[in-house]
Structure 1
Amino acid sequence: MAWRSRTRSLQVFDTELSADAVEWCPVSPWNSVLACGTYQLVKEPDEAGAVLATPSRVGRLYLFQFCQEGPLCPPLTELQRIDTPAILDIKWCHVPVLERPLLGMATARGELQLHRLNDTQEGSCRLEAVSGLELGPDRLALSLDWSTGRGDSAGVRVVSSDSAGGVNVLSLAPAGLTALAKWKAHDYEAWISAFSYWDTQLLYSGGDDCRLKGWDLRIGPSTPTFTSKRHSMGVCSIHSNPHREHILATGSYDEQVLLWDGRSLRQPLSESALGGGVWRLKWHPAHEHLLLAACMHNDFHILHCQQALEGGGGACPVVASYILHNSLAYGADWSHLALGGPPPSSPQERAEGGAARAELGGHLRIQYESPTASFDTSLEDEAGRYIPENSAPLVAPPPAPAGDGPALSCLLATCSFYDHMLHVWRWDWTPEERGQGEAGTGEGGEAGASMDTGSAAEAISVTHPAQ
C-alpha cells in the first residue's frame, strides 16, 4: 500500500526577537500550551557612538494556547510574554511538580530559571518565576534536560551545559534548584547535555571540540565513560529515546544525524546526511521510530528510524519535510495533542499551494552567528538562499506508520532565527486512496511514501504580536 505524507501550515507568528527554542507542554491536561524562547544580540553604542565590545543579549518568553475551532480561526492564542535575558534553550519537566507543569530556561546570563504554569481566575494560565540558579561567572547556559523523560517523578534533576565547556547537574527540591555536581567536560562550548532516560545516572554531552562524551554520576565526572570523535564538527544535539532502551540520537554542525546503541558506542547504528547543521533532535512522544530534526540551513525533517533501530543499518529515510521557514531552523517540538482526521484537500489546492510556496520561499541573506558570538559568516547564493552541498535528504520507501490506527496525524511547532518566526503545522501520514496516482511512486521514482508539501503555504495565517 502506498502512503501519502503531507505537511500543512496552520499559523505563523512573528516573535519580533530571533526565535530559537519552542516546546509543547507534555503534562496533561495542559498539552495545548506552547512556549517559545527568543535570543537577540543588541550591539549598543557607547557615549562616543562606538559599538560596545561586549554586546548585550536580551530575550522574551512567549506562552501560547492551541485550540483549533475552525479553518478561519487562527488556532494559536498568545497568553503571556515575559522579557528575560536571552534564551538559549527551554524544556518542560515531563511530569508535574507540586501538581503543576514546570518550565526550565537556560539564559545568556549563565542562569537556569524555573517557571511554574498556574491557572488564572479567567480560566486561562500564566507562567510565574519560582526559582533560579547561576551556573558560574562569564558563561552562557546553552542547554538543559530533565531526568523525567520516561515519566519518572522520583528524584527530579536537571542537567545543563554552558559556553565555558561545563556540565552542571542540579536537583529539584521544594526550595528550588540545588547544584549537585559541575565539571569541565569540553575544551570549547558545550552545546548540549542530556540524560539517558532509562538510567538517569548516565549523562551525555556534546561540544564544539567535536566530541560526544558519556558520564556516570555514580563514579564521578573525573573521567568520561566514553569519548567519541565520530562527528567531524561540533556536537550540538542529543536526545535519548524514551521508548527504546539504549537508543540515542545525536546531531552536529557536520550535518549528520547518528543513531547509537548505548551498549556499543564504537560505531553508530545509522548515519543520515541532512544537508544542514542539526541543532535540535526530538523523538516522537508516542512512536519510537520517528525523529524530528531542526537542520539550521536546510529546514525541518522527520526521519523514519525503524530499520536502523532493528539493526538494518543504512541512512534513515526522510518521510516529511517542512520548508516554509526562511531562516535558520533552530527550535522544533512535537505536541502530545491528538488531532482529528486529515484536512480536506483538492488537486487545485495542491497546485495553488505550490505557487504560494514559491512566492514565500527564499531570503536575501543569512548572517550566521554563533550564540556566543565567536564568529560570523555570510552564507548566501545568487537566489538569496544558502544551499549546502549534498543537501538533498534521502527519500526512500519506509514501512507503513506504526501504531493502532491506519494513519497518523501530528501537531508540531518550529521556529527560525533571523526572520523571528514561529510556525505551527500538522503532518498527516495516510494511506493513498485508489485513483490518486501511481501506487507508491514518490518524487524519487521509487515505490513508497508519496510526498506532498505544496499545499502547506495555502493555509498560512500570519499573526503579528502587536495585533
Structure 2
Amino acid sequence: MMGWQSRTRTLQVFDTELSADTVEWCPLPQWSHVLACGTYQLQKGDDKTAEDSTALNRIGRLYLFHCNPQPSFIPPLTETLRIDTPAILDLKWCHVPISERPLLGMATASGEIQLYKLMEPQQGTCGLECELRAELGPDRLALSLDWSTGRGESSDVRVVSSDSSGSLTVLSLGEASLTAVCQWKAHDFEAWISAFSYWDTQIVYSGGDDCKLKGWDLRMGPSSPTFTSKRHTMGVCSIHSNPHREHVLATGSYDENVLLWDGRNMKTPLNETAVGGGVWRLKWHPSQEHLLLAACMHNDFHILHCQKAMEGQDAPCPVLASYILHNSLAYGADWSRLPLSNTTPPSPQEPPQTSVGLTDSGGHLRIQYESPTASFDTSLEDDSGQYVPDHCLLPEKRSAPDPFPSPVRDTQSLSCLMASCSFYDHMMHVWRWDWSPEEEQMTSEPAPSS
C-alpha cells in the first residue's frame, strides 16, 4: 500500500503592525492572486466617554497584496494597498463578480458592514474603493459576515452578519444599495459567527457565546430557530457550509472541538475532532470536498481529512498537516485558488525540509525554519519537544495502515498555497502545503537507530 507524505513550507512572513485576525484570498479566477488581510487593535483610552471608546478606540487596517508564487528567490507577496479603517473583525470576498468586479465585505468594530470594490490595476497594482456600507445598529461590533454565493450563484446576493449584541442581520445587495432585510436577537451574548447554507440560502446558521448553535429559516421568519444545539460546551465561534457536499456543515468552538454535521439531523454531529485550541475559523477547500482548514487559536493551524466522517464513520478526522510557526493566537486562515507547481524545489537559501508520512498517532514534525526577515527561528522538534537531527525521519514513521485515497481523482499529488495570521505578534504568513505519494527512496530508507 502506498503511503502519503505531507509537508508545509513557509514562503513569506509579513508584519501587519496591528494585531492580525483575518486573511482572505480572492476566489475569482482572474483575481486569485489578490490577498486581503484585516487587523484589529484596541487602543488604551484617553479621556473619551464610554460611548466614544466603544468604536473610536478600536482601530484597524486593511491590507491588499499581489501574490506571484512562482519559484524564485523573491518573496511572493507585494503589498499594493493599505487603508486605515475601524477595527476589522472579519473579511469575506463575494464568490461571484458584482458588476464584473470582485467585492470584499468587511465587518467592523464601528458596527458596519462595508463593501469594497477591487478596481482596475494601475501600474500593475489593484486598488479598493468603498462602494457601500450598512450600519447594524448602535453600540455594537460587527463580528462576522458570510455571502450567500458560496456555490457561485449570482442571483439574490445577500450578506449575513452577526454582532456583539447577539443579533443577526441579513442584508440584500442591490444595484447601488446594501439594505437590511431582517434583524433579530439570536443569542444571549456575543453572536460570534453567522453563515449561510450554500445549498439553501434561505437557511442561516449562527453561533454565540451562550454556547449555542442555531439554525434559522428566513422563509419562516426569525421568531424561533429551526434547531438549537448545545452540543458544544463553550462559545461557538466558527461555522462553514461545505460548498461541494450538500447538507455537510462544520462548526468550531472555544471548547477546542471541530464538529461535522448533516444539516438534516442537527441533534447529533457526524463526528467530533479535538484540535487542542479554540476553533476561531474553519474553511473548506475550494475544490477538494474532504479537506478542512482550522485556525485553532492556542494550537496553530491544521488541515483535517473528513472523508470517513462524511461517509458516516464516527471517528475523529485525521490531521494531514499542521502549520506551527506562528507565535501567537491563530485567528485567520484561507486557501488560495492560485495554481502551484507540484515539483517546486527548495531554493538553496532554504533550510533542509523534513517530511513525515501519516502515522497512527496523527503526529506532525516541527520543521526548521528561518523567516525571510531572519527575525526568529524554530528548532526541529518532534511532538514531545525532543530535538530531531536534520534529515532524520521519526522512528515510528511508516505508511498509514489504511491509506487515504489520492487527493484528486486521476492525479498523484496536491499542492496548495495558504495564508494565515496570528494576533498579538501581528504576523501574516504565506505558505504552501504539498501532499503526495511517498517517494521510493523514503519508503526504503532505514529508520535511524535509537
Give distance in 1, aligned partners of 2:306 and 2:27.
Answer: 23
| Other structure's SS at 2:42 match | strand
The reply on whether 1:403 has 2:435 as its aligned counterpart is: no
1:167: which partner in 2? Answer: 168
Give distance in 1, aligned partners of 2:367 and 2:409.
Answer: 31
The reply on whether 1:193 has 2:156 as its aligned counterpart is: no
- Residue 350 (structure 1) aligned to one of 353, 365, 374: 353
Bigger mean CA offset, 204-213 vs 309-318: 309-318
Contact 2:105–2:145 (CA<8 Å) still a contact in 1? yes
Q: Deviations for 1:66-92, whole angstroms, at most 9, x for unmatched residues?
A: 013443101100010000000000000
| Other structure's SS at 2:180 match | strand
Q: When the two structures are superposed, what TM-score results if normalisation uses the length of structure 2?
A: 0.86
Q: Closer, same or farther in 2 for the Cα pair 1:348/1:130, shift >3 Å?
A: closer
1:435: Cα distance to partner?
Answer: 2.0
Give distance in 1, aligned partners of 2:309 and 2:170.
Answer: 31
Q: Closer, same or farther in 2 for the Cα pair 1:440/1:63, shift >3 Å?
A: farther
- Within a 5 Å distance, the mapping from 1:55-454 to structure 2 comes to 56-345=57-346, 349-350=352-353, 354-356=367-369, 360-361=377-378, 398-400=403-405, 401-437=407-443
1:313: Cα distance to partner?
Answer: 1.6
2:382: which partner in 1? Answer: none
Give distance in 2, aligned partners of 1:438 and 1:315.
Answer: 30
Q: Closer, same or farther in 2 for the Cα pair 1:355/1:125, shift >3 Å?
A: closer
2:388: which partner in 1? Answer: none
Q: Which runs of 5+ in 2 are unaligned?
A: 356-365, 380-398
Contact 2:273–2:316 (CA<8 Å) still a contact in 1? yes
Contact 2:35–2:67 (CA<8 Å) still a contact in 1? yes
Give distance in 2, aligned partners of 1:351 and 1:6.
Answer: 8
Coordinate RMSD, CA, aligned:
2.3
Q: Which runs of 5+ in 1 are unaligned?
A: 363-394, 442-467
Give distance in 1, aligned partners of 2:446 and 2:143.
Answer: 43
**Between Structure 1 and Structure 2, how many residues are aligned?**
405
| Other structure's SS at 1:73 match | coil
Bigger mean CA offset, 395-404 vs 245-254: 395-404
1:403: Cα distance to partner?
Answer: 2.8
2:391: which partner in 1? Answer: none
Give distance in 2, aligned partners of 1:40 and 1:428.
Answer: 34
Q: Closer, same or farther in 2 for the Cα pair 1:348/1:180, shift >3 Å?
A: closer
Contact 2:4–2:403 (CA<8 Å) still a contact in 1? no
Contact 1:342–1:428 (CA<8 Å) still a contact in 2? no
Letter in 1 for 2:315: G
1:125: Cα distance to partner?
Answer: 1.3
Q: Closer, same or farther in 2 for the Cα pair 1:325/1:398, shift >3 Å?
A: farther
Give distance in 2, aligned partners of 1:438 and 1:87.
Answer: 50
Contact 2:151–2:199 (CA<8 Å) still a contact in 1? yes
Contact 1:143–1:193 (CA<8 Å) still a contact in 2? yes
Give distance in 1, aligned partners of 2:53 and 2:174.
Answer: 39
Give distance in 2, aligned partners of 1:235 and 1:119.
Answer: 39
Give distance in 2, aligned partners of 1:11 and 1:45.
Answer: 37
1:338: Cα distance to partner?
Answer: 1.1
Q: When the two structures are superposed, what TM-score results if normalisation uses the length of structure 1?
A: 0.83
Q: Deviations for 1:177-224, whole angstroms, at most 9, x for unmatched residues?
A: 001000000000000000000000000000000000000000000010
1:43: which partner in 2? Answer: 44
Give distance in 1, aligned partners of 2:416 and 2:141.
Answer: 33
1:371: which partner in 2? Answer: none
Give distance in 1, aligned partners of 2:446 and 2:301.
Answer: 23
1:398: Cα distance to partner?
Answer: 5.0
Q: Deviations for 1:112-161, whole angstroms, at most 9, x for unmatched residues?
A: 00000011342321111011010000000000000000000000000000
Give distance in 2, aligned partners of 1:264 and 1:75.
Answer: 44
Letter in 2 for 1:413: A
Give distance in 2, aligned partners of 1:414 and 1:440.
Answer: 35
Letter in 2 for 1:184: K
Q: Closer, same or farther in 2 for the Cα pair 1:361/1:296, shift >3 Å?
A: farther
Give distance in 2, aligned partners of 1:348 and 1:94.
Answer: 37
Give distance in 2, aligned partners of 1:308 and 1:439.
Answer: 33
Q: Closer, same or farther in 2 for the Cα pair 1:53/1:36, shift >3 Å?
A: closer
Letter in 2 for 1:411: L
Contact 1:95–1:151 (CA<8 Å) still a contact in 2? yes
Q: Closer, same or farther in 2 for the Cα pair 1:292/1:351, shift >3 Å?
A: closer
| Other structure's SS at 1:208 match | coil
Give distance in 2, aligned partners of 1:42 and 1:348.
Answer: 39
